[in-house]
């Protein structure tokens, strides 16, 4: 696997700079799939297009294995690109679409036919070469677009929101399939997405982008457990950020103390900052006579203001003294207005900035 290295890459439109002196390396670890994850408008597509050579650089270099590609035209970079809607040639068959890049490269006819058949096997559409692309479902069309991009054996595959046009169920299925396909093809891949679940389904490593800069790169599990800063934690779905303190073997939090060892990865002594999601707080109903029994009981009391049955379980919004309204989960069904005790589930807590 080769290495893609960006140095000081600066890209913009007119007088607006979207990406300013960005350094980024892909392929330095044995991670075939890297997700570029960030909110809408942060510059992900612009960066992908700059890597592909579709957007000129104002400054900096795009290098492959130490060779500067900045002045190499798109079709000479040996990179495959797939956009959100696949952009198949609608007047041609599936096979003709996949063969397109091979014809341009003047592959012999028999080799093209064999490669098209192999690619259709790889994307799990065997025997579909003669189908019209207008007859394909959205998911099938994306598989064909992937086959077309992979057919000439690119050294890098660039995917721009490849699942965005599909419905939720198909998205998950195709996310796993794309991961399988590019690993089987042994092609390092960069996939742009604004969806954190999609990034985790697809990628071995995730680079988080904010306002044209990469702010954190880590494997998905590490990213969820150790977001680099408040912004990353928030973008990844934290609903509450709180300060805490590691005191010996226990972590003192506004929701009581939990054993430090219960947090993935452990923690050094001293102050720290926690990012909580709804699953980080477990609500239990309080019997009327145990109300106000204080911190000795652990946890924090609050009053249920909203309650909703979600597919994964019941979600509550709870008004607390001092921390305002917080989100929590529960195995019970407390009424709005009921008093509950909130305890922290350390298995679902992230620690910021370690």
Ligand X SMILES: Nc1ncnc2c1ncn2[C@@H]1O[C@H](COP(=O)(O)OP(=O)(O)OP(=O)(O)O)[C@@H](O)[C@H]1O
- Can you give the binding site for ligand X, defined by CB under 6 A? 13, 18, 38, 40-46, 194
**313 torsion bin: left (phi>0), alpha (psi -120 to 50), beta (else):** left
For residue 191, give the nearest of 18, 26, 70, 6 by alpha carbon: 26
In the complex with ligand X, the residue whose CB is nearer, 54 or 336, is 54
In the complex with ligand X, the residue whose CB is nearer, 237 or 298, is 237
Q: How far apart are CA 74 and CA 352, in angstroms?
A: 40
Q: How far apart are CA 341 and CA 331, in angstroms?
A: 13
Q: How far is the CB of 42 from ligand X (least distance, A)?
A: 4
For residue 274, give the nearest of 190, 353, 181 by alpha carbon: 353
Q: How far apart are CA 174 and CA 120, in angstroms?
A: 15
In the complex with ligand X, the residue whose CB is nearer, 44 or 226, is 44
What's the order of all strands across the beta sheet hosting 59-64? 16-26, 4-13, 59-64, 67-68
CA Rg value for the chain: 25
In the complex with ligand X, the residue whose CB is nearer, 38 or 334, is 38
Query: Do residues 98 and 147 lie in contact, with contact meaning Cβ atoms separated by under 8 Å?
Result: yes
Q: Is 80 helix (H, G, I), strand (E, B) or coil?
A: strand
In the complex with ligand X, the residue whose CB is nearer, 43 or 101, is 43
Torsion, Cα 167 172 176 178, to 10 degrees, reads: 20
In the complex with ligand X, the residue whose CB is nearer, 51 or 283, is 51
Q: How far apart are CA 50 and CA 47, in angstroms?
A: 5
Q: How far apart are CA 162 and CA 82, in angstroms?
A: 7
Q: How far apart are CA 134 and CA 130, in angstroms?
A: 12
In the complex with ligand X, the residue whose CB is nearer, 43 or 334, is 43
In the complex with ligand X, the residue whose CB is nearer, 79 or 83, is 83
Q: Residue 207: what are its φ and ψ, rounded to 5°?
A: -105, 125
């Amino acid at each position: 696997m080769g290495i893609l290295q960006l140095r000081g890459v600066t890209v913009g439109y007119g007088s607006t700079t979207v990406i300013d002196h960005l350094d980024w390396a892909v392929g330095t670890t044995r991670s075939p799939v890297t997700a570029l994850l960030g909110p809408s408008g942060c510059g992900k597509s612009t960066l992908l297009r700059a890597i592909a050579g579709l957007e000129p650089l104002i400054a900096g270099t795009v290098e492959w294995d130490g060779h500067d590609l900045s002045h190499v035209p798109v079709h000479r970079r040996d990179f495959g690109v797939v956009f959100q809607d696949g952009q198949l040639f609608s007047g041609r068959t599936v096979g003709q679409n996949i063969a397109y890049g091979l014809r341009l490269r003047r592959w012999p006819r028999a080799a093209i036919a064999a490669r098209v058949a192999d690619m259709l096997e790889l994307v799990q559409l065997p025997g579909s070469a003669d189908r019209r692309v207008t007859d394909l479902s959205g998911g099938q069309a994306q598989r064909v677009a992937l086959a077309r991009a992979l057919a000439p054996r690119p050294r890098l595959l660039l995917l721009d929101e490849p699942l965005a046009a599909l419905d939720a169920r198909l998205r998950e299925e195709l996310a796993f399939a794309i991961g399988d396909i590019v690993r089987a093809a042994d092609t390092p891949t960069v996939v742009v997405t604004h969806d954190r679940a999609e990034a985790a389904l697809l990628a071995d490593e995730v680079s988080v982008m904010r306002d044209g800069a990469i702010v954190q790169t880590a494997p998905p599990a590490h990213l969820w457990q150790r977001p680099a800063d408040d912004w990353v934690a928030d973008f990844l779905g934290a609903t509450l950020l709180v300060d805490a303190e590691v005191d010996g073997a226990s972590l003192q939090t506004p929701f009581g103390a939990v054993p430090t060892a219960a947090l993935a990865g452990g923690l050094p002594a001293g102050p720290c900052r926690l990012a909580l999601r709804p699953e980080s707080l477990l609500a239990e109903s309080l019997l009327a006579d145990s109300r106000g029994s204080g911190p000795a009981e652990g946890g924090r009391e609050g009053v249920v203001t909203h309650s909703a049955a979600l597919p994964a379980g019941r979600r509550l919004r709870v008004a607390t003294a001092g921390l305002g309204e917080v989100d929590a989960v529960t195995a019970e069904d407390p009424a709005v207005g009921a008093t509950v005790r909130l305890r922290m589930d350390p298995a679902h807590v992230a620690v910021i900035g370690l």
